[in-house]
């Protein structure tokens, strides 16, 4: 039933994780499918490949913030 709601009315996104300022991970409140923003800024399904890319991006972003705060 929840998938039917999403197919008619679109997904209702909730941010679950902020990877960087521009990259976020989302979860649909209705069907619990996970999504993320891709390199073009479009919202796509969160695959294992995208999940790995987001982990590396987050690690690099956190490292950059730490270096910036030390200066």
Chain-centroid distance, C-alpha 42: 10
Going residue by residue through the chain, which has 71 residues, state the pLDDT in tens, using 9 for 90 and above.
Answer: 566 777 677 888 999 999 999 999 999 988 889 999 998 999 999 999 999 999 999 999 999 999 988 87
Cα 10 to Cα 7: distance, rounded to the nearest angstrom: 6
Cα 65 to Cα 31: distance, rounded to the nearest angstrom: 35
Per-residue model confidence (pLDDT) at position 64: 94
Residue positions counted in the chain: 71
């Amino acid at each position: 039933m929840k998938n039917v709601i999403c197919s008619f009315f679109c997904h209702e996104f909730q941010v679950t994780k902020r990877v960087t300022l521009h990259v976020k991970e989302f979860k649909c409140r209705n069907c619990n499918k996970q999504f993320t923003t891709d390199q073009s800024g479009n919202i796509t399904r969160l695959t294992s490949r995208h999940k790995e890319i987001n982990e590396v991006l987050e690690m690099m972003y956190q490292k950059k913030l730490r270096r910036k705060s030390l200066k």
